[in-house]
Amino acid sequence: MNFETIVQSNPKSELNEPSQDHNRGLQRIISGITQTLERDALVQKTTDQVRSALAVDRVVLYYFFRKWEGRVTFESLSSDRFSILGSTGPDECFNGDYASMYLDGRVRAITNIDNEPIADCHREFLKDLQVKANLVVPILTQQGLWGLLVAHHCQSVRHWHDADIELMKAAAQTLSSAPSIKSS
C-alpha cells in the first residue's frame, strides 16, 4: 500500500487533521525556536554595540551551560584574527571561589594582564587569547550566574574608565532582564 492509497482510504485520519496534542507540540517547538532567535539577536546586538562603544578588539559572551562550566557562545570582533568562539575557560582557574564573587556582582577590570596579581593559569589563558587588558561583568538571573560579558583589548594595555564599567554593567543588565534569557 502506498502513501496516496492510505490517505484516500482514511480521509478523516490523523494524516489529514493533526490532533490537538500534535498542534500543541508544534506550538511549543515554534515558541522555543522564536525565543532562541530573539535571545541570539539580542546578545549579538549587545556585544556589537558594546565593542563599538568601547572601541575594543573583542567582546564575548561566556555562557555557563553547567555549574561553572561554559564556553564563548557569542563574540563581536574588530578583526577575525581575534575570534575565540567556542573557547572554554581554564577550569582549574574558574572554581567556586571565583563563581561566588561573580554571583555577588564582582566586576573585574584588568588594565595590564602582565602586571595584575592573578593566578598563573589565568594569565597564561589570557595570553593564549592575545589579551592585554580585560573587563568582566557578570550576567545574573534569578537562577544565578548565567554568564559573563567580557571585553578584551588585545593590541595594547588599556585603562578602564568608570564609564566603560557602567556601560558593561548596563549591557549585562539588559541581557539578564530579557525574557528570553530570564527563562533559559
Q: Specify if 12 maps to a domain.
A: no
DSSP sequence for 130-167: T-SEEEEEEEEETTEEEEEEEEEE-SS--PPPHHHHHH
Answer yes or no: are the C-beta atoms of 133 and 161 closer than 8 Å. no
What is the domain range of residue 30? 26-182
Residue 10 counted as domain residue: no
pLDDT digits over 30-80, tens only? 777 767 778 788 889 999 999 999 999 999 999 988 877 889 999 999 999
**Residue 49 counted as domain residue:** yes
Q: With respect to residue 8, please indicate whether it lies within any of the assigned structural domains.
A: no
Please give the radius of gyration of the chain, using alpha carbons only, rounded to the nearest integer: 22
Residue corresponding to grid cell 553547567: 66
Burial class (CB within 10 angstroms; exposed 0-12, middle 13-18, buried 19+) of 3 = exposed
> Would 132 be classed as within a structural domain?
yes
Dihedral angle of Cα 102, 157, 50, 78, to the nearest 10 degrees: -130
Write out the DSSP string of 67-101.
Answer: TTEEEEEEEEESSGGG--TT----TTTS-HHHHHH
Tell me whether residue 83 is in a domain: yes
Q: What is the pLDDT of residues 87-132, one digit of tens each?
A: 987 666 766 677 888 999 999 999 999 999 988 888 999 999 999 9
pTM of the model: 0.81
Unique residue bearing C-alpha cell 533559559: 184
The domain tally of the chain equals 1
Any domain includes 102? yes
Whether 142 is in a domain gets the answer yes
CATH of the domain at 176: 3.30.450.40
